[in-house]
Each structure stands twice: as structure tokens, then as C-alpha cells.
Chain A
Amino acid sequence: GAVVSQHPSRVICKSGTSVKIECRSLDFQATTMFWYRQFPKKSLMLMATSNEGSKATYEQGVEKDKFLINHASLTLSTLTVTSAHPEDSSFYICSARDLQIGDTQYFGPGTRLTVL
């Protein structure tokens, strides 16, 4: 099946620093990728839609200057959490849309961000 990877799997950083998370579709090309965040015992919340070669589309309430998304190639999207604060600590998950196999989304393993 289609595989999506994320790097790093976990990161701990100090407040005020920026953190970049990579999402890669390993065996298919994805013109569209998505970024979610998930708090403990809660459901996934869609943050933004990442489109290859164009600007990301952010969901209501998500600060685009805080969460920078870049989708430079058909297999890579990055999420940068700028000037991270403790309230940004969360589980960040990406997904990639595979249009070749029934328009199915495949998810990465997630990245645990802890901001001290």
C-alpha cells in the first residue's frame, strides 16, 4: 500500500524557536497533502491543505504566519511551526492524497512536538 513518512517522529524544542516537520509520500506522487493536529484523547483537526506549487489553504482559526506550509514537490510537504510556544505542543499528522488508487488519503505516522 501507499506509504507516507514524517520526520522527525518527535521533537523537543525551547519556546521561541521554529520547528520544521517533513511529510513525504514514498511511493506515489501527491499533488495535495494535508496537515492535522491532534490533542490527547481528541480527534484530528484539519489545519491546512497543501497544494504542490501553490499556496496552502488554511482552515478557519489557523494562523498561516504561525504554521508555514511549503509543498515544493509532488512528494514533499513541510510544516514549520514558527516561534513555538508551549501551547503549540501537540501531535502533528500529515496525509497525502493518492488519486491513482481510488482517491484515498494515506497518513504519516505523526510527529510529537513538545515545546518547553
Chain B
Amino acid sequence: LAKTTQPISMDSYEGQEVNITCSHNNIATNDYITWYQQFPSQGPRFIIQGYKTKVTNEVASLFIPADRKSSTLSLPRVSLSDTAVYYCLVVVSSNTGKLIFGQGTTLQVKP
């Protein structure tokens, strides 16, 4: 399973755009990238997933360069309620689909 590396923590202010970058240097051809958000004492919430280039939904955007060795989760205009832990994971679609969580990025949004 491809290992991911992301910053342990980030600080931001309300209204700013936040970009969290994740590196996954040994991602394989059929793997894809998925991001989750987790609040304390809750299960992770799916945010977005993608294979290449750019994916956008109502919550976030995901940018994946051509070499796919990294990805960037972009959260537009964050609010205090976006304070959470964000996990980047690489999924091997051909296997059982199990996810191995890394340490995640703790995002603290300040007023």
C-alpha cells in the first residue's frame, strides 16, 4: 500500500483558502487518492477522491499533478467548523479496498 506523508498540523483564519498537500511517491498505476475529514469522537467523513488532474465538488477541490506523486486538497473560504483532522489515503482499487490511515493533518481555523 502506498504510504502517504502530510503535514501534522496547519493553522488558518476564517475566510481563507486552505491547501493541504499530501505526498504519495510510490503510488501505483491503478491506485487513486481519497480524502476524509474527522471531527473528535466521530467517524471520518468522505470529502473527495480522484485519480488525476482536478476534481471538484461542493465541499472541496482535489488537484493531482501528472506524475500523481502528490495531491492537494483545497478548502475554499474555511470557517471555524472546518477545524478537524484531514486524512489523505491511497486506495488500491483492485484489492479489498482496505484503507491504512496515516497521522493526518490537524487543521485549526482561527477567528
- Which A residues contact B (CB, under 8 angstroms)? 1, 4, 6, 32, 34, 36, 43-46, 49, 51, 57, 91, 93-95, 97, 102-110, 112
Contact = CB atoms under 8 A, between A and B. Distances in A.
B83 interface: no
Nearest to A44: B101
Contact of A93 (B43, B46, B104): B43
Given A43-B104, A106-B46, A112 B99 contact: no
Interface centre among A32, A46, A107 (most CB of B within 10 A): A107
A46 B42 CA distance: 16
A45 B49 CA distance: 21
Interface in B97-111: 97-104
B24 to A, nearest CB: 16
A45 B87 CA distance: 13
Contacts of A108: 43
Interface residues of B, number: 21
B45 interface: yes
B67 to A, nearest CB: 22
B44 interface: yes
B33 interface: no
Contacts of B45: 107
A36 B42 CA distance: 12
A58 B41 CA distance: 24
